[in-house]
Structure 1
Amino acid sequence: MLVKWMCCTVVDRRGFEQGQGGWADLLGEPGFRGQSGGWSRARPDVAHVFAFWDNRVFYDSFMAGGHERLAAEQSGTYTDMQVRLFEYRFDVKTGFEPHFTDADVVRVAHSRVREDRVEHFALMQEKVWNPAMAGSPGMLRGVFGEAPGNEFLVLSMWQSSAERGKYRPESAARLSARAEIERDVEDLTGDVVLLEPSWTV
């Protein structure tokens, strides 16, 4: 599975949201599995969108075909669009599916990992972070993805921001130390995204 993460600064909120409705046409695309997104809790003018495809072949076919027509609807409504693609590596919790109707918060964590620490980083995600997140109240499911250049994405879905708050901050500091995250990671950024149900395809 291919995971696409888009992040941009919105300058015309109403126009952007209207254009977001046009992405419902993705439902007819071969290999498309789901899309949703919402607004950054920390930066209200920043939008995140997450899309899921069976594989890169189907995604590339869409990008060469119908993408431009859909994207044109939002032209001029945003700046600083960043797009990253990640290959699925494993589930966070179990049984990941790109469904958003039962979630209202997505946590996204993006890491650049030192080359000699990549396998350790992935192992710690599987053995330390995954069990902790799976046992947290309100955590539904998630996905761990990898991109060239030792980049990794952890995308986790939660029932509410209040529930996700129970996962912070003492437990995260303890888990970070156990996972030796400072030795593994060169750069770590993240955000909490408040999902907009109307963006879900």
Structure 2
Amino acid sequence: MEKLNMREITSEIEKVDMQNTTNETVKIVGISGSLRQGSFSTALLKILAEKALPAIEIRVVTLEDIPLYNADLDGEPEIPAVAAFKRIIAESDGVLIATPEYNHGIPGVLKNALDWASRPVFESCFKYKPASIISSSLAFTGGVRAQYQLRETLISMHAHLVMGPEVVVGGIHTSLADAAYTDEKGLEFMLKSLGRLRDEIIGRSLHAV
């Protein structure tokens, strides 16, 4: 009979625990980094919300109501749109950000919203929150530079970035048609990433018990 060391035994127990919680629903907020009415990022989030497993609820959030960050306005009473944005993140189990790439970086509207969400310093609604990223671009590079810039911002906010293959969607305009995503393998890849986000949320909740 094969012997297992303590690390392997612990791993096996965790696998069983995960299997016993497969029906647990997690609530994920999907933040779109684009304001455009026909935004590819928003469309991707809506498609993932539709295609995700029943145990994953995705609430898609856009940022048109978030004002420009001004430290003079960062106090009590909070700006209603900012307070609502923070509350949605705080009440979620995890965050999925979909962003385009503008000039080798993330859009100003997304950085601005994260600047608001980062307050108070070191105690923000993103602290220890499991987070995943999808970047996209019309170019074949898929917004990879924006993704790395966004990672740096989230790390500074003490968000918990979920590890795994990076989801970068190149030539996004060729795969979206009539609110559907035509690249089946690409969609499967994104759904697997979403599954890793859920697994991370479930795993962290088990360890917290």
Q: TM-score, normalised by structure 2?
A: 0.27
Higher strand residue share: 1
The higher-RCO structure (CA 8 Å, 6+ apart) is 1
Q: Which has the larger radius of gyration?
A: 2
Q: TM-score, normalised by structure 1?
A: 0.28
Higher helix residue share: 2
